Chain A
Amino acid sequence: MKINFFLIVLIFLAVLAISLFLGPTPINPLALDGTTREILISIRAPRIAVAVLMGMALGASGAVLQGILRNPLADPYILGISSGASLTAAIGIIGGVTIFGTFSIPVFAFAGAVLTGGIVGVMGWKRGGLWPERLLLAGVGLSFLFSALLMLIMSVSRDEGIRRAMLWIFGDLSMSDWERVPYGVLFVFGGVAISLWRAKALNALILGDEFAHSLGFAPHTERVLLFISVGLMTAASVSLGGMIGFIGLLIPHIARFFIGSDNRLLVPASALGGGALLCAADLIARSALPPMELPAGIITAIIGAPYFLYLLRRKNVLSV
């Protein structure tokens, strides 16, 4: 298991290097001139950083969420956080909001995500704690509501904003720049750190609240902490570059095939796997049909899903 984890780290680093130096125009790191240096530092590196941060956030929060909801079908989007973020982002884009400069849309999306996470938390709260089924149903309900409101806004507005909003909703990394990286690092690493710090408690919660209590954890407190970490990671991811499918749901399952179910390894492995997959998908998205760019979210599913289905058939995973 430890060896497999080491391999995941290596794959992750290899994908980073390939994305940085290959791409529509390959760059030789040993022979940089002014232009290639500029491309590398100002265009490629920030885009890769944003893709990695988003993928890490989705992979890690998927693993945590499947644990706290005790549901292998859970993903960070099931809580409605992304729908809330999309709604506020679309309002910002179509309304042409610029109060926070280039940060306007990320700030709008983040606010929508946090607000939605808060509402889901309030709805999932009963008798002094968060209850998995209540959280799940509240999230699904809000998700439908916000998607409907989003459709309503899209269908009554006419201008060019709709196309940009659509692009954003389906995951757009082309706007990535260094400015977005620091706050992404803050929330994504913060969320991963909380999840790792509480990873033992997460393992115990998977066995059920009574087991968790018996093993010396306060189940409700632990669930609130982990829920906050998932909320922060998902909000950061959606506000960095919109919605990317597949990673949050299936990367944790793929990671489980290789390193087992212990969240002390599973959470970091899902983060690295998610980061590597989105980075690779974005490389393909911008190199496959130049100069056209495909949405990275579509590529993650096209390369990820067949691999997942192959693993599902090859290894016996009826238990998940």
Chain B
Amino acid sequence: MSSASKPMILELSGACFSYGNNGHVVDNLAFSVGEGEFIGLLGANGSGKSTILKLGSGILRPSAGKIMLWGKQLQSYRNKDRAKLISYLPQTLDISVPFTIRELVGMGLYPYDIPPAITPDEALGMVGLTDKADAHITDLSGGEKRRTFIAMTLLQGAGLLLLDEPLANLDIKYQIELVRLLRTLREQRNISVVMALHDINIGLQFDKVMLIKNGGILGFGRPEDVLTESSIMDAFDIEVKILRQTDGKAYVSYQENYRK
């Protein structure tokens, strides 16, 4: 998939960030996200995946470098205007107050003075939660919680979704369901998705992946180019073999022996 002709939604150039005085967590980062792109971020724990997503969403401000949203400095947007363009979902969704699903999804309308055409119930329909509208968030499974917040972002109308490990703690079945849902939504609404991943095998199914190590980009492009046995060794410090099924689908096999 070539993305060169499509307009860039988010563009980072020379972005640096550190949490304290112990060196840069993210160093001189440069990449861009085009319309309708589906990008997976891969890297070991602490490599800077979350930090990159937080920089992209404006939660963290870069200490140096530029972040542009639709050609305009991200920090120059009013909060509400930015919220109509970018939606960020954190990794942990621990919500102790028993909001109903409809109440939560409806919060996606907060940036708007005049509600957009889509209603909370329609958004719930798109993520398959119509029959849970009146349930409490505290009673839902992990997968349903994720879908609730995806419905919220639909209502928010943001064209760019930045998701921090949305597949964490989900059963494989729900991981696949969620990725499929996001792909369907991309086809219907042309949204772009950048998500941190922890499973290399899921990354292999993406159109585009970014491999990150120590806050820098090791590779960015098609998974078959970026995810090689040597780059994975470099990023994750594990030995893998990349194998192919008869239908051509690639997968990694971890070579570590757990029984040793």
Contacts and interface: CB of A to CB of B under 8 A. Distances in A.
B96 A256 contact: no
Given A203-B107, A260-B103, A261-B103, A213 B97 contact: no
Contacts, number: 82
A214 B88 contact: yes
Interface stretch (B76-84, B165-173, B206-214): B76-84
B88 A213 contact: yes
Given A204-B107, A211-B90, A260 B100 contact: yes
A262 interface: yes
A260 to B, nearest CB: 6
Interface in A278-320: 317-320
Nearest to B112: A216
B58 A216 contact: no
A314 B86 CA distance: 42
B79 A216 contact: yes
B195 interface: no
Given A213-B58, A216-B82, A261 B111 contact: no
A70 interface: yes
B139 A319 contact: yes
A218 interface: yes
B162 to A, nearest CB: 8
Contacts of A320: 96-98
Interface of B is mostly: mixed
B105 to A, nearest CB: 12
A317 B98 contact: yes
B1 interface: no
Taking each of A66, A214, A217, A320, which has the highest tally of chain B beta carbons within 10 Å of its own beta carbon?
A214
Given A256-B98, A260-B103, A214 B89 contact: yes
Interface in A180-217: 200, 203-204, 206-211, 213-217
Contacts of A317: 98
Interface of A: 66-67, 70, 72, 200, 203-204, 206-211, 213-218, 256, 260-262, 317-320
10 contacts: A203-B103, A204-B107, A208-B90, A209-B59, A213-B59, A214-B87, A215-B111, A217-B79, A218-B79, A319-B138
Give me the 6 closest cross-chain CB pairs, A-B, nearest first: A216-B83, A319-B138, A216-B111, A216-B80, A214-B88, A210-B90
